[in-house]
A = this chain, B = another copy of it.
Amino acid sequence: MDQRISLVTLAVGDPERAAAFYEALGWTRADSEPGIRVFDLLGQSLALYPRADLARDMGLTEAELGTGGMTLGYNTRTKPEVAQVLGRAEAAGARVLKPAHDVFWGGHIGYFADPDGHVWEVAFNPFSPLSPDGAFRWAGYPDTDDQPPQSG
């Protein structure tokens, strides 16, 4: 597992309202799609994603997710790596919340919680390959429908 975070996903009530806050700080969004807002940072991206959807994807209730809920994303270069990283995390003491599985948008993801409860999403996204140095850049949706790419 390389030493990087690909995506910081903040659970928010309203992605558009949340994005307006970060734009007011001077940031520029990478994309604007229904249901998700993304800002490219140094080496990774920040995503603003509906709280209810993030809770569903993680297999938690909104109450369990709580205020301030977020995930740290680790993107892999290949599909089999997702299960490998989850397996390694489990062997190291993590709890796998969702095993590696295909998702409707064409990706392959899973979730684990570290021993203190911090949740990581491990993802292979064939539409947003990592740069040679491992940096993640938002490449938009594979389709133009209204489905957010984090669902699973």
Contact = CB atoms under 8 A, between A and B. Distances in A.
Interface size class of A (residues with CB under 8 A): 35 or more
A116 B26 contact: no
Interface string A100-125: 00000000000000111111000000
Interface string A39-58: 11111101000010000000
A82 interface: no
A134 B42 contact: yes
Given A8-B72, A41-B43, 12 more contacts: A1-B25, A2-B26, A3-B26, A4-B41, A21-B93, A22-B114, A25-B92, A42-B134, A43-B44, A67-B116, A70-B70, A70-B118
